[in-house]
A and B are shown apart, each in its own frame.
Chain A
Amino acid sequence: MELSPLIITLETAGVATVVTFFAGIGLAWMVVRMNHFKGLADAIITLPMVLPPTVVGFFLLLFLGKRSMVGRFLLQWDVSLVFTFQAAVIAAIVVSLPLMYRTARGAFEQLEPNVIYAAQTLGVSEWRIFWQVLLPNARSGILAGLVLSFTRALGEFGATIMFAGNIPGKTQTMSTAIYAAVQANDYALAFDWAMVIVFFSLFFVVLMNWWIARSGRGGCLWN
């Protein structure tokens, strides 16, 4: 069994999750503090979660493809995103970002506002409030968002196949490998990849639950 789909999947999901983690928390914090157009901003960030992945992939082609403004700009340096590893990462980011954003936002909103106000009136800077009050107290929500967006990125199919294609050894992930195997009538291979995905997803969700149960209290996000 050629292992490249496993490695490509872990790489795309890994890189995508790092970006999603910071962008999702940042966007959540931004939207929570918005006074106007909060609903609209929320809807735009959430959209990739509710749209069919093929539509997301189609828009990515439209906005980042060779004929788009960004695409033509990048072509000046002979760079093209479509059907590359980077494209797979971008597709995974776009579909997993809403999960990180929504769980982080929910966690921020659960925090009692008076706790933040108290920190402000005590003269603590917004930056320290964010890192030392907000994040630690929203920890379980943020951990949940991290795992959910990583597992979502692991299983990403629709947008990836539209935007990154299904090139073995280059952009073929486990989920696109399953599709290709079924097309080629190789059910045994499809079954193997399916089991690998189920194993990974189960493992990370169990890890998340254990992590959240353990982190009842304590000073730091990571202990």
Chain B
Amino acid sequence: MELMVRIKKKLRNFTLDVDFAVKEEVFALLGASGCGKSMTLKCIAGIETPDSGVIVLNGRVLFDSEQKINLSPQKRRIGYLFQNYALFPNMTVRDNIRFAASGNDAEKLQKVQANLERFSLLDLAEAYPAELSGGQQQRVAFARILASDAELLLLDEPFSALDSYLKWQLELELRQVLQSYEGTALLVSHDRGEVYRLADKVAVINQGKMEKVHEKKALFQRPETLAAALLTGCKNVSVASRIDDHHVRAEEWQLDLMIADLPAKVKYVGIRAHFLEFRQLPGENTIPVDIVQVIEDTFSMLVMVRKAGSDGKAIRCELPKQKWQQFQAAGVDLYLYLPPEKIMVLAY
């Protein structure tokens, strides 16, 4: 199982430019809405045509602008799970699956039956899509894809329209479906949690431009760009400039910070809200702060602070409610500690 994609396509506001290979793994494209990630999937499936480039699946050339090859979506054998599932509204669940099944009548019948069973749809076989819940619709969409001859699974923001409990149920189901694709799939999402849980490798797309491909852990621990930091959920970023090999000035926060090994190129620094710590005494990377705002979240406290006496950009800190109560009870001056190893240095 191998997918190779290298395409360019001019869109209204930017040029889509992606280059990656997927091999027996779940590969995620992480990007904000409107960044070109769905367009990438549509180009791979043959619904949209890139301006130039090559798409190869398991050695079959699906698209090659130089050789003028452009297979129709029907010939590509790529399963596409649409955001709203796109079931055929005029057909029952059974007919939706049968319509997509390949082979002769006996094979079709067998595929329909097998997939109805596999996705626990036997009781719903004669229902129409409009009568199904979001979760049931997704199961039909999966059953339909598995009954066709798809070699690769594309997932376009599969859970974006659902509430969080249902989302989790469907995510568990998706994990099972992925196993029948030897775990190979291409996932597009703006949800960092979804990407972290499901994917092995991640590439960030920003304004159509794909950034470096990372192992997911590396990307979440050490994002290298502003887009990657924000998309992986970093809440605090500041424009920064280099002072010397070990010090950086976070301009928007109005802080000078110590970092063990500063790379040559520094444009921003960032730190995740839950890595920040409150202290009662000053020290290295520990600065006196004023509280701007305290917001109670479901399971934690969000404390917005800025350097004491400055008008710098507020920094968001997240800590357990109990811990925050202890600080409040102590009633002393508050210092914020930014652990040097947790500070992300972003080159652009």
A-to-B contact residues, CB < 8 Å: 112, 114-115, 117-126, 128, 132-133, 136-137, 217-219
Interface with A: B88-96, B244-252, B306-314, which one? B88-96
Does A123 contact B80, Cβ atoms closer than 8 Å? no
CB-CB under 8 A from B9, the residues of chain A are none
Restricting to B300-318, which residues have a CB under 8 Å from any CB of A? Answer: none
The docked-state distance in angstroms from the alpha carbon of A137 to that of B145 is 21
Contact of A115 with B86 at beta-carbon distance under 8 Å, contacts A122-B148, A123-B149 already known = yes
CB-CB under 8 A from A119, the residues of chain B are 88, 99-100
The docked-state distance in angstroms from the alpha carbon of A128 to that of B128 is 20
State whether the Cβ of B84 lies closer than 8 Å to any Cβ in chain A.
Answer: yes
Does A219 contact B46, Cβ atoms closer than 8 Å? no
Does B73 contact A114, Cβ atoms closer than 8 Å? no
Does B84 contact A121, Cβ atoms closer than 8 Å? no
The docked-state distance in angstroms from the alpha carbon of A122 to that of B147 is 9
Q: Tell me what chain B mostly uses at the interface: helix, strand, loop, or mixed.
A: loop
- The one of B47, B87, B90, B145 in contact with A120, judged by C-beta atoms closer than 8 angstroms, is B47
Q: Which 3 A-B pairs give the minimum distances between C-beta atoms?
A: A120-B73, A122-B100, A114-B86
- The one of A118, A217, A219 in contact with B82, judged by C-beta atoms closer than 8 angstroms, is A118
The docked-state distance in angstroms from the alpha carbon of A3 to that of B26 is 75
Enumerate 22 A-B pairs (CB-CB under 8 Å) in ascending A order.
Answer: A114-B83, A115-B88, A117-B45, A117-B47, A117-B82, A118-B88, A119-B99, A120-B47, A120-B73, A121-B46, A121-B73, A121-B74, A121-B80, A124-B74, A124-B100, A132-B88, A132-B99, A133-B88, A217-B128, A217-B130, A219-B90, A219-B91
Kindly provide the distance from the CB of A146 to the nearest chain B CB, expressed in whole angstroms.
Answer: 18
CB-CB under 8 A from B74, the residues of chain A are 120-121, 123-126
Residue of B nearest to A118 (CB): B86
Kindly provide the distance from the CB of A127 to the nearest chain B CB, expressed in whole angstroms.
Answer: 11
The docked-state distance in angstroms from the alpha carbon of A219 to that of B100 is 16
Restricting to B51-106, which residues have a CB under 8 Å from any CB of A? Answer: 72-80, 82-84, 86-92, 95, 99-100, 102
Kindly provide the distance from the CB of A123 to the nearest chain B CB, expressed in whole angstroms.
Answer: 5
State whether the Cβ of B139 lies closer than 8 Å to any Cβ in chain A.
Answer: no
